Amino acid sequence: MPSSDDDKPAPPDLPSYTVEDAEPLPRPSRRPPPPQDPAERHAGTSLVHHSVVLDDDRIDPDAAKVVRRLERSGHQAYLVGGCVRDLLLGGKPKDFDIATSARPEDVRALFRNCRIIGRRFRLAHVLFGSKVIEVATFRRNPSMDLPEPSVDDDASEVLDDLLIRSDNVFGDAHEDALRRDFTINALFYDLDRRQVLDWCGGMQDIQRRTIHTIGEPIVRFREDPIRILRAIKFAARLDLGIAPDVYDAMVGTREDLAKAARPRLFEEVLRLLRGGAAHRSMWLLWEIGAMSVLLPELSAFLDDDEATRGGSARFFGKMDAIDAMTRARGRPLEDLTLWTTLLKEPLDEWCAGERDRFRAVGEFLEPIIERIAVPRRIADGVRRISAILPRMAAGRTGRFGNTDLMGPALDVLEADLLSLGRPTDVVQKLRGTEAPTSARATSARASGPHRNVRGRSLAR
């Protein structure tokens, strides 16, 4: 879900995650029960079904409950996307998404614990405590309606404007599979019949552990350049290969990333850093040249190993350190820790010899904030942590030790020391002096200027 930028309203082409007002809903439509035989249900499509028994213990029981209630009410409902992919690859899904023929208002009528979200495309969220099961009505990619470009069309012109600006068109299960990004993400699992429904060769790609786009890779990346970052994330996190034509298209369309919605860029870069595969992700991002579009400051630093005297090894050492810390803790590090560690090497180079390090960091960050919508609370935290780190490494923190930035700052220092193969005693010692969480004015994730324990703003 895109993270909200504190200062700027989300651009209108982004999904909004606001809860709708509870206005009276139309009564759910009465429709005849759909055919129960999968072949009949999806007649006329290129469906291949695979009998697969996924381990029930690894399937979220609440998600299963939602699927079964929808099916019993005469709708089609499947587990879809990342959860099916992760279950088939033997991993643990982060969350369980459901796709259904039911319209959002039909879902709402079936579940009391349901809210409808989104202005552009309405989704149903079924809530079980703090857990959210997302239920989306089948939809299709509106560009499926476009005529195939003829040989007379200027191909470059056609490819130039494929960016999807609206995708709120309902469709059927087959169309919903085809609108997805990669074949491994387009598998539907039919819980009761224990079958994986596959319209685009996703099962074979799971077995071969390869990333293929659904359809022409250049077209799919031009439609939504964020998919370039998603391909990197899946390749790095799940240790998958990227098909050569997909890889070439990622290189060929990387400049389109500059056209993507900036808050989505911010969020996807974080996802590359969070999953315990930051090293591989950053390597791929650099190798395909997308880093020079998103973070030219970092890619120029990595390119010039001679001038930075082995800067790339220091940078990737830091990525190894955050991967090791993520694995050891079993959860992602704070966003602020990740961003500060990501930028630390080029930042240190930029600030070398500067007397006013705080101001210098601000100047370095300005174009990055502009390019990828880094929220102010993160940019502010990166500035403050970067300014204090040299003193922290010497074991001194002063009043900074009482702020909510202390935890992320200690993690940045730990990653730094680990990457240099140095002992981390100073971090352990400083952790002992850290104010207890309850004493801190706000959590590190809270928005607004950071404050010390007495509530005085530390923002300059």
Q: What are phi and psi of 210, to 5 degrees?
A: -130, 140
DSSP letter, residue 19: B
* Min dist. Cβ of residue 227 to ligand ATP (A): 5
Residues β-bridged to residue 363: none
- Let me know: does 100 contact 93? Beta carbons within 8 Å: no
Binding partner of residue 326 among ligand ATP, Mg ion, none, CB under 5 to 8 Å per kind?
none
* Min dist. Cβ of residue 43 to ligand ATP (A): 23
* Min dist. Cβ of residue 68 to ligand ATP (A): 21
* Min dist. Cβ of residue 421 to Mg ion (A): 36
82 binds Mg ion (CB under 5 A): yes
Written as one letter, the residue type at 143 is S
Chain positions 61 to 100 lying near ligand ATP, rule: CB under 6 A, are 81-82, 94, 97
* Min dist. Cβ of residue 199 to ligand ATP (A): 12
Pairing of strands 97-100, 131-137: parallel
Q: Which residues contact 300 (CB under 8 A, 6 or more apart)?
A: 292, 346
**Of the residues 5, 86, 97, 198, which is catalytic?**
97
* Min dist. Cβ of residue 180 to ligand ATP (A): 4
Size, binding site for Mg ion by CB under 5 A: 1
Task: Please say which residue, 264 or 344, places its beta carbon nearer to ligand ATP.
Answer: 264
Give the closest residue to 361 by CA, choosing from 371, 372, 351, 346. Answer: 351
Q: Would you call 176 a catalytic residue per the annotation?
A: no
| Residue tagged 């090497």 (tokens) | 345
Binding partner of residue 181 among ligand ATP, Mg ion, none, CB under 5 to 8 Å per kind?
ligand ATP
Task: Please say which residue, 181 or 256, places its beta carbon nearer to ligand ATP.
Answer: 181
**Of the residues 176, 181, 190, 404, which is catalytic?**
181
Segment near ligand ATP (CB under 6 A); pick from 100-108, 111-119, 221-229, 250-258: 221-229
Residues β-bridged to residue 48: 198
274 binds ligand ATP (CB under 6 A): no
Task: Please say which residue, 15 or 317, places its beta carbon nearer to Mg ion.
Answer: 15
Looking at beta carbons, which residue is closest to ligand ATP? 82
> Which tokens is 327 given?
């694995």
Q: Would you call 323 a catalytic residue per the annotation?
A: no
Among 5, 71, 106, 181, binds ligand ATP (CB under 6 A): 181
- Let me know: does 133 contact 125? Beta carbons within 8 Å: yes
How far is Cα of residue 250 from the mean position of the Cα atoms in its chain?
Answer: 18
CA atoms within 13 A on the CB side of 333: 31
State the Cα–Cα distance between residues 120 and 13, nearest whole angstrom: 8
185 binds ligand ATP (CB under 6 A): yes
E strand or H helix that includes residue 315: helix 311-329
91 binds Mg ion (CB under 5 A): no
Chain positions 314 to 343 lying near Mg ion, rule: CB under 5 A, are none
* Min dist. Cβ of residue 189 to Mg ion (A): 14
- Let me know: does 272 contact 291? Beta carbons within 8 Å: no
| Residue tagged 């429904």 (tokens) | 197
Q: Would you call 192 a catalytic residue per the annotation?
A: no
174 binds ligand ATP (CB under 6 A): no
**Of the residues 95, 167, 248, 320, which is catalytic?**
95
SS3 124: strand
DSSP letter, residue 45: S
Give the closest residue to 84 by CA, choosing from 72, 100, 95. Answer: 95
Segment near ligand ATP (CB under 6 A); pick from 177-185, 199-207, 244-252, 328-336: 177-185
- Let me know: does 340 contact 381? Beta carbons within 8 Å: yes
Among 180, 279, 318, 377, binds ligand ATP (CB under 6 A): 180
The catalytic residues are: 95, 97, 181
**Residues in contact with Mg ion by the rule CB under 5 A:** 82
